[in-house]
């Protein structure tokens, strides 16, 4: 059994100093290469033997959309959006509901908090963009490596979906927002791990279940919070695609995991835990604090004390945990992953509806 030091590089999951020590040292490069030794698998069995995947494939073909049809003529005033979002939700006000005395924010007024809101929006959409490119690359890998023709058919539609998602987030950042951020180091580490693993089901688990599951929850959360109509329309379309993508992972891995040994299942549990920690760590927004000239360590300590942070962080796992339960990962190996998700404070979502059930393809 591997310990935390080997899985995530530190003994304490909540060691803030260790989390912040992981930084992106590749920000000056336009490209990032990841080595992988992967076999491309052809199948000469063209029988459509998996009707649930077939149903998902038909749904994907019928619901393709064109990025150009979004209302791109919508004017977006970022500062006005930040203030409007705060006005409609007390929980997301400009100033966190936390005593800021003695912190770097003690002297901040509305101007500084609005600037932070603008930078946070730039950062968040940038990370969505980078994550969607990761999904594009991973889904192309699934087409190459998955052994079933039904899965290859469906994965090919997801490649188109992900290309469209990269397109819309890139365009929104370029045309409506005011700056880009490089990929967060924790997200980069996770994408590297997913791409570097030669096993096709690990690509599914890392991307379809973990990354896409968290993205689906995050998109839903932001869609409910934002007052900006173009972003709401964009996220509505992207979320419809993402729900199918996560269901694709659940349906495919359910079948495959029934064939694995207990040792192999433990490896999948450990990978899911590592992915969960990496994704949680990336939402500390350390790059935003750096850009605003705030001491990152002090800023994160304040952030971790805010009730809004606890709610948002927990909700990010509302799709991941029930899908892991559906796959049998929570309670295998004496409940190892259940214990880890309990320590992360997200186990309460285990009985929420899983994504395949939501799409009525289970």
Q: What is the residue-level pLDDT of the chain in tens, covering all 362 positions?
A: 688 888 888 888 888 888 889 888 888 888 999 998 899 999 999 999 999 999 999 999 999 999 999 999 999 999 999 999 888 765 455 566 678 888 989 999 999 999 999 999 999 999 999 999 999 999 999 999 999 999 999 999 999 999 999 999 999 999 999 999 999 999 999 999 999 999 999 999 999 999 999 999 999 989 988 999 999 999 999 999 999 999 999 999 999 999 999 999 999 999 999 999 999 999 899 999 999 999 999 999 888 887 777 777 788 899 999 999 999 999 998 899 999 999 998 999 999 887 666 666 55
Q: What pLDDT score does 303 carry?
A: 84
CB 56 within 8 A of CB 248: yes
Q: Residue 333's closest CA among 260, 275, 277?
A: 260
Record the tokens describing residue 81, joined without a space.
């959006």
Q: What pLDDT score does 168 carry?
A: 98
Q: What pLDDT score does 96 carry?
A: 67
How many Cα atoms occupy the beta-carbon half-sphere of 215 within 13 Å? 32
Q: What pLDDT score does 346 carry?
A: 92
CB 4 within 8 A of CB 168: no
Could you give the CA distance from residue 333 to residue 8 in angstroms, rounded to a whole number?
A: 20
Q: Which residue's structure tokens are 């590297």?
A: 192
Could you give the CA distance from residue 94 to residue 82 in angstroms, rounded to a whole number?
A: 8
State the greatest distance between any 2 C-alpha atoms of the chain, in Å, as a whole number: 67
Q: What pLDDT score does 95 carry?
A: 64
Q: H-helix or E-strand containing 338?
A: helix 332-343
Top-level class of domain 78-90+107-358: mainly alpha
Could you give the CA distance from residue 262 to residue 19 in angstroms, rounded to a whole number?
A: 31
Name the residue ranges covered by the structural domains of the chain.
78-90+107-358
Q: What pLDDT score does 356 carry?
A: 62
> Which pTM value belongs to this model?
0.93
CB 233 within 8 A of CB 70: yes
Q: What pLDDT score does 306 carry?
A: 79
Q: What pLDDT score does 352 carry?
A: 87
Could you give the CA distance from residue 6 to residue 193 in angstroms, rounded to a whole number?
A: 14
Q: What pLDDT score does 93 carry?
A: 54
CB 344 within 8 A of CB 277: yes
């Amino acid at each position: 059994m591997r310990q935390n030091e080997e899985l995530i590089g530190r003994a304490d999951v909540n060691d803030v100093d260790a989390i912040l020590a992981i930084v992106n040292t590749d920000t000056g490069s336009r490209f990032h290469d990841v080595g992988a030794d992967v076999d491309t698998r052809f199948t000469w069995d063209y029988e459509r033997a998996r009707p649930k995947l077939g149903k998902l494939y038909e749904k994907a073909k019928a619901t393709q959309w064109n990025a150009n049809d979004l209302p791109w003529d919508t004017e977006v005033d970022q500062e006005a959006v930040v203030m409007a979002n705060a006005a409609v939700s007390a929980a997301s006000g400009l100033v966190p509901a936390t005593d800021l005395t003695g912190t770097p924010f003690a002297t901040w007024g509305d101007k500084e908090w609005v600037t932070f809101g603008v930078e946070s929006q730039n950062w968040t959409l940038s990370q969505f963009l980078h994550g969607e490119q990761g999904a594009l690359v991973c889904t192309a890998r699934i087409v190459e490596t998955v052994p079933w023709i039904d899965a290859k058919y469906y994965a090919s539609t997801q490649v188109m979906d992900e290309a469209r998602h990269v397109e819309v987030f890139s365009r929104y950042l370029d045309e409506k927002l005011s700056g880009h951020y490089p990929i967060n180091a924790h997200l980069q580490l996770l994408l590297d791990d997913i791409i570097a693993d030669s096993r096709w089901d690990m690509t599914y688990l890392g991307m379809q279940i973990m990354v896409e599951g968290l993205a689906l929850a995050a998109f839903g959360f932001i869609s409910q919070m934002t007052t900006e109509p173009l972003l709401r329309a964009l996220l509505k379309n992207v979320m419809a695609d993402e729900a199918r993508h996560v269901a694709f992972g659940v349906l495919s891995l359910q079948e495959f995991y029934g064939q694995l040994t207990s040792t192999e299942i433990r490896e999948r549990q450990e990978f899911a835990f590592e992915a969960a920690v990496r994704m949680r760590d990336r939402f500390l927004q350390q790059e935003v604090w750096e850009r605003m000239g705030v001491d990152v360590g002090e800023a994160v300590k304040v952030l971790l004390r805010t009730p809004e942070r606890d709610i948002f962080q927990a909700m990010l796992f509302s799709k991941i945990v029930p899908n892991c339960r559906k796959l049998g990962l929570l309670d295998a190996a004496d409940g190892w992953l259940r214990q880890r998700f309990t320590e992360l404070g997200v186990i309460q979502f285990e009985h929420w509806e899983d994504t395949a059930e939501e799409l009525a393809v289970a």
